[in-house]
Chain A
């Protein structure tokens, strides 16, 4: 069975994750790199935009927005939403997933891959949020 039954369910989790990590080291690195990263998900279909380039209202390092259409981004990672869940929960070997075709990447991949070592705290937050929502 699919991990998320609707885009709204997944977005609800990611919105809370974004709020908790917007001042994290990972977000700071995203800001320093001036990167906009898009995650394009299918089934359910939606796009996550992590923006470390545009100014934020509250002075945090990044914002996260959700669009049905792909906005301009420096790098995009396209996958099924199930594979997206694996990524956020820390159960994905990104280079292997790229090689297997589970994730298709476009754009400034090298810059984005540099952020991977900073991600584990985000995985913890994601798993915690899912637990709080009785999803995991």
Chain B
């Protein structure tokens, strides 16, 4: 089958023929229909996020179940599914505490570049070929843990459903599960890519007002407003992102700031622009070696909450069908997220468009 392999950091993806084993126990073989192109994949390609290489990237996808291994009961061949990159085990401390987003086993899969049990189903002529986040969906087919597939209504277009595998769920969950935004709360979103736009539209769904979008690409203004932003700040116009947000929130600061980039200065700005006792939610994935600094006195004296949100603190089996239901009833907009489709052979063009900020979300269609 054809797949996009990252052989080493700072290289383009190599679209080539690879081998895929049949699914083992508790594994599912999915024929991919669509896969979203995400900044996290780009960070891996740049060497900012260390994962075992070579690997087949891609973690935001949807497709049709082709074959199931032994002991698989939740899906059957022919089912339409969205992939989840946190195939939580259900029995570790965090799963039992109701935080599958923090699942230890899923985290180990992310680090090891394999499936549960250190199993590898991918191979090619040049040696080991790693899985990525248990999904590896930049390929015509993939084998994933059965806990990493979420069955969906087959009436939903798979190129839209694919985005719910990461961008939509991450943005939605950050607003609903992490921040608990309420009607009338002010929300500021730094970064208007695929995830940021979903923070914006979920904040609108929650009744937030104002919703202030910030991006270094002025062309994102219109898109951000389509998804619900009431104001747009062009980050190229000043280094000071805090003052305009303070000005737009009656001098108080924003109730919630969502940082969706993963850069030192924007994380610090997110914390700075939040009002006293407000909340800054860091969604952007920064390189593991990066540090940020905050005014220490402000922790007790301003009592802000600074937290992260990983996969929107979601429970994929609950949240993905819930989000798709909102889409089907016209409450969430997935149609305008997919601004460009590419074939697998042109996947590197899709990444160029991503870093140039010319797309909301590019999607590889198989």
Interface residues of A (CB under 8 A from B): 1-3, 42-43, 80-83, 86, 98-102, 104
In the assembled complex, 9 residue pairs joining A and B whose CB atoms fall closer than 8 Å, in A order, are A2-B238, A43-B239, A80-B240, A82-B239, A98-B297, A99-B297, A99-B301, A101-B269, A104-B293
Query: Is A100 a contact of B239 with CB atoms below 8 Å?
Result: no
Cα–Cα, bound, A100→B272 (Å): 4
Partner among B238, B293, B298 whose Cβ is within 8 Å of the Cβ of A99: B298
Size of B's binding interface in residues, CB under 8 A: 19
CB of B271 closer than 8 Å to a CB of A: yes
Instruction: Tell me how far the C-beta of B271 lies from the nearest C-beta in chain A, rounded to whole angstroms.
Output: 6
Instruction: Tell me how far the C-beta of A120 lies from the nearest C-beta in chain B, rounded to whole angstroms.
Output: 19
Query: Is B240 a contact of A82 with CB atoms below 8 Å?
Result: yes
Residues of A within 8 A of B293 (CB): 101, 104
Query: Is B239 a contact of A101 with CB atoms below 8 Å?
Result: no
Query: Is B301 a contact of A100 with CB atoms below 8 Å?
Result: no
Question: Which of A1, A42, A43, A100 counts the most B-chain CB atoms under 10 A from its CB?
Answer: A100
Residues of A within 8 A of B268 (CB): 101
Query: Is B240 a contact of A100 with CB atoms below 8 Å?
Result: no
Query: Is B237 a contact of A83 with CB atoms below 8 Å?
Result: no
Query: Is A100 a contact of B238 with CB atoms below 8 Å?
Result: no
Residues of A within 8 A of B242 (CB): 100-102
Instruction: Tell me how far the C-beta of B297 lies from the nearest C-beta in chain A, rounded to whole angstroms.
Output: 7
Instruction: Tell me how far the C-beta of B96 lies from the nearest C-beta in chain A, rounded to whole angstroms.
Output: 37
Cα–Cα, bound, A2→B234 (Å): 11
Query: Is A101 a contact of B238 with CB atoms below 8 Å?
Result: no
Partner among B238, B269, B301 whose Cβ is within 8 Å of the Cβ of A1: B238
Residues of B within 8 A of A104 (CB): 293, 295
Within 8 A of A (CB), among B234-283: 237-240, 242-243, 253, 268-269, 271-273
Residues of A within 8 A of B302 (CB): 99
12 new A-B pairs (CB below 8 Å) besides A99-B297, A100-B272? A1-B237, A82-B239, A83-B243, A98-B295, A98-B298, A100-B271, A101-B242, A101-B271, A101-B293, A101-B298, A102-B240, A102-B243
Cα–Cα, bound, A83→B240 (Å): 7
Residues of A within 8 A of B240 (CB): 80, 82-83, 86, 102
